[in-house]
Structure 1
Amino acid sequence: MSHVDTILQQAHERAVLSSLSYRGALSPSEAAALLAALPDAKLVDVRTHAEWQFVGFVPDSEMNEWKHYPKMDLNPNFLSTLQATVDPQAVVMFLCRTGARSHDAAGLAAANGYSNAFNILEGFEGDKNVAGQRGQVNGWKAAGLPWTQG
């Protein structure tokens, strides 16, 4: 079994154990490994424009807000934008701040024909530390994975 197959299998097992409606749940490091190994894989960042601008983002990610800042109302164009930018047969990984919005986005994608939809656990910033700050305990940034300031 290849490294990619192992990652995909482990992510799927997490989904089964947690009764998730989508294909699997990935750690940030697993998601980065899939992006590096699978040329057609896509990372969809579902955070807000404000988060991309002020917190940072993963280079070459698709940016598609799940909710609009500041009211945090659902983006009515989320699915149509996803369908216009990401092949439903591709491995598509959803990322938000902590893994909650991306969980919902992965569920919607799976319900609409994306059979290889994955949530990235911990998100971009991860959990808060004892001082109430994100980006240091876990998540994409804390794992030292590629990102850039907005």
Structure 2
Amino acid sequence: MSTLVPPAAVPAGVRPAAGYAGDVSPETAHAWWQAGDAVLVDVRSDAEREWVGFVPGAVAVTWKQWPGMAMNPAFDQELRAAVPPGKKAVLFCRSGVRSMNAARRATELGLEAYNILEGFEGDADAQGHRGHKGGWRLRGLPWRQN
């Protein structure tokens, strides 16, 4: 008779993911951040934060910079400086795609990294507009616009 080994315990509210600790809802990320268990990392470009909005207190560590969406050569260094040992990194972008890649890289750097589902603006609706189908803003979490 073989003994089954249970899968590693996954914290409540976390959806398992390949290459990083998991995906979490904006609400879960916010709760961890407010409790002091996580650093909220905005991986969007400077232009997105300036024109679309930002989360006060989130750490800006750009994954790819506009225009041209070139990789940020200082990403590793900036992320390591932003997330102290023992803290989770919860990362978001516009819709939750770039932040998955950033979470994978953060994991390679030795961090406990999570992607925030839906991102800041959520998915595009039938008209191609964001902000109506999920996302940090739609969920009523704190944000500002310049």
With the length of structure 1 as denominator, give the TM-score of the two structures: 0.86
Q: Compare CA radii of gyration and give the structure with the larger one.
A: 2
- Does residue 30 (structure 1) correspond to residue 24 (structure 2)? The answer is no
Task: Show the counterpart of 2:53.
Answer: 56
Looking at secondary structure, tell me which structure has more strand per residue.
2
Tell me how far apart the structure 2 counterparts of residues 50 and 28 of structure 1 sit (CA, whole Å): 22
Unaligned runs of 5+ in 1: 1-6
- Does residue 105 (structure 1) correspond to residue 102 (structure 2)? The answer is yes
| Structure 1 ranges of 4+ moved more than 6 A | none
Q: CA deviation at 1:8?
A: 3.1
Q: Report % sequence identity.
A: 45
- Does residue 10 (structure 1) correspond to residue 1 (structure 2)? The answer is no
Looking at secondary structure, tell me which structure has more helix per residue.
1
Q: CA deviation at 1:143?
A: 0.7
Task: Show the counterpart of 2:120.
Answer: 124
Unaligned runs of 5+ in 2: 1-9
Contact kept, 8 Å, 2:121 with 2:137, in 1: the verdict is yes
Task: Show the counterpart of 1:85.
Answer: 82
Contact kept, 8 Å, 1:8 with 1:24, in 2: the verdict is no
Contact kept, 8 Å, 1:127 with 1:137, in 2: the verdict is yes
Count of residues in Structure 1 that have an aligned counterpart in Structure 2: 137
Change in CA separation of 1:32 and 1:25 when aligned onto 2, cut-off 3 Å: same
Tell me how far apart the structure 2 counterparts of residues 111 and 138 of structure 1 sit (CA, whole Å): 29
- 1:137 aligns to what SS in structure 2? coil
Measured against aligned partners, the alpha-carbon deviations of 1:76-131 in whole angstroms (never above 9, x if no partner) come to 110111112211421110000011110001000101110x2100011000111122
- 1:60 aligns to what SS in structure 2? coil
Contact kept, 8 Å, 1:96 with 1:123, in 2: the verdict is yes
Give the aligned residue type for 2:108: A
Which residues of 2 match residues 129-144 of structure 1 at below 5 A? 129-144=125-140
Tell me how far apart the structure 2 counterparts of residues 64 and 92 of structure 1 sit (CA, whole Å): 11
Task: Show the counterpart of 1:75.
Answer: 72
Tell me how far apart the structure 2 counterparts of residues 59 and 104 of structure 1 sit (CA, whole Å): 23
